[in-house]
Structure 1
Amino acid sequence: MSNDTASAPALLVTDMMDPARAAAFQAALGLTPQVAAGSRLPPFFHQLYFWTPLPPGALGRDGHPKVGGAGLIPDMGLPRRMWAGGRLRFQAPLRAGIAAEKTSVLEKAERKTGRTGPLGIVTLRHEIRQEGALCLTEWHDLVYREDPDPAAPKPVPPEARTDETEAREVSFSSTLLFRYSALTFNGHRIHYDLDYARDVEGYEGLVVHGPLLAQHLMLLAEELMGPLAEFSFRASSPLMHSESAVLCRNGPDLWVRGPDGRQCMSATAAPKL
């Protein structure tokens, strides 16, 4: 299955970019709330905006909107959704309290066979504008899988690098996961429903949001490198809320190392010149 992007429908969502929401997220991260009307938003904070609320009957078993139908993502018959990674190009700063438009299109939707069975590979492209100017282009990669086979061996995650020049330890409480889900209007039950995460999707605990890990890496990259021009990231192993992790950086490369040395996410950042 593939998609012709030239004729693909677009989804347009507008948002006033409420500064209180960004300030609340800063507080949830343990940062000093500093965002006010007119403030430049930190990178990736647009995830807090452009909600598309749907009634309960329009949601799937996992709490996400059902695929197929009028949505951008087709139903490929694979129930487990994962945010696999993405790429961002920062053209101009997004500012809080200013109306913005987000246009989303489906760039790719195809079914493949991987080591663990059938996969649905989806790429969405989002463009965000304020006052008529393109501020951000984002490519958002999703993977859909079958339900896990309890008898199948667990996949072996890659080992993370240990040559970092900068390292920051981070931890994730169930409260933080709940607050991030609420601020991003993300209903995926793997982040707050332990029974569902363990018994249906086969995880060992509540799963830390992939974009929350990417958010930490982006904030670290901007702190060390200055404003970003581009950022790309790829998830490689889920992190549970009961696990601490280390944010690592060496040059343009960043990664998240789990407590057992596994790589949970890798990323590359490019600063503005």
Structure 2
Amino acid sequence: MQQFIDKSQTTSCAMDAARATALHAALALPDPAPQPGDALPPFWHQIYFWDAQPPEYLGRDGHPKTGDFIPDLGLPRRMWAGGRLQFHAPLRSATPASKTTTIEAITQKQGRTGPLAFVTLRHEITQCGSLCVTEHQNLVYRNDPDPNAPNPAAPTARTDETTCERHSFSATLLFRYSALTMNGHRIHYDEPYARNTEGYAGLVTHGPLLAQLLMLMAERHLGPLKTFTFRATAPLVQQETADLCLKGKSLWVRGPDGQQCMEATAG
């Protein structure tokens, strides 16, 4: 896999203001929505730089097939396990930008449930000649679940938060977020696939959507973000209500029965 390390590709985007308005509405955020030229909230670059592929270039899960930019690792399930971000300068709505994605690392190992592969992508987003965001995205590839094996136990979430916000996630919100991010992963909108193929208890709430809400929460309470690190620790199923929690610069998502779905640190 060494030949794939440092492989990179660059895409450009007009940063259409209508997408920012649509995400603002989908998240039911208070008015006003960002206007052309306004600074965008952190992580809103997720709705830009689409990798829209025709159907024949998609895998069974709805993501672009591996084997082109990311190598085929022989493992069918893909998960966004977490990431870390540096916000150097705000991205602005309706101002062209470019994103360069580089494969930084590929690691293969044997886990408790079988082989695993970890891929780290580095995204560097520039606008008006300046670096605005550096993002490291951690992907995990694994085999389909054994239907006879018990689900791994989720970690228990903290209960010492100083701020807590309760959120529910409708199927409509999951659909709209998938559309805005051009995320074709079927676990977010195809319930039979989510249950029968990938072994989830229902539609899965996007990890990046949870991270987005944590970032917005952190900004409201801590001010503008310079860094943000997050790690998904358990899936949150669509019909489940979650508590978004904050104490100091630590944040986490607490799902039903007290399980921790995500942990994060703001800086």
Task: For 1:223, give the aligned amino acid.
Answer: R
Task: For 2:84, give the aligned amino acid.
Answer: R
> In terms of mean alpha carbon deviation, does 207-216 or 114-123 score higher?
114-123
1:1-273 superposed matches below 5 A: 1-2=1-2, 5=5, 8-31=6-29, 32-69=31-68, 71=69, 73-270=70-267
> TM-score under structure 2 normalisation?
0.98
Distance 1:198 1:189, change over 3 A: same
Task: For 2:16, give the aligned amino acid.
Answer: D
2:64 alignment partner, SS class: coil
Alignment deviations for residues 187-212 of structure 1 (CA, whole Å, 9 cap, x no partner):
00000000100000000000000000
Q: How many residues align?
A: 266
What is the deviation of 1:4? 6.4
Task: For 1:13, give the aligned amino acid.
Answer: T
Alignment deviations for residues 157-207 of structure 1 (CA, whole Å, 9 cap, x no partner):
100000000000000000000000000000000000001000000000000
Distance, in Å, in 2 between the alignment partners of 1:76 and 1:145 is 9
What is the deviation of 1:122? 0.4
**C-alpha contact 2:122 2:134 (8 A) present in aligned 1:** yes
Instruction: Extract unaligned runs of 5+ from structure 2.
Output: none
2:265 alignment partner, SS class: strand
1:35 alignment partner, SS class: coil
1:260 alignment partner, SS class: helix
1:223 alignment partner, SS class: helix
What is the deviation of 1:3? 5.8
**C-alpha contact 2:83 2:136 (8 A) present in aligned 1:** yes
What is the deviation of 1:9? 2.3
Distance, in Å, in 2 between the alignment partners of 1:259 and 1:53 is 35
**C-alpha contact 1:24 1:33 (8 A) present in aligned 2:** no
Q: Output the aligned Cα RMSD.
A: 1.0
> How much identity, in percent, do the aligned residues show?
62
**C-alpha contact 1:27 1:33 (8 A) present in aligned 2:** no
Instruction: Extract unaligned runs of 5+ from structure 1.
Output: none
**C-alpha contact 1:74 1:109 (8 A) present in aligned 2:** no
Alignment deviations for residues 1-56 of structure 1 (CA, whole Å, 9 cap, x no partner):
45664xx2211000010111011101111113511100100000000000111110
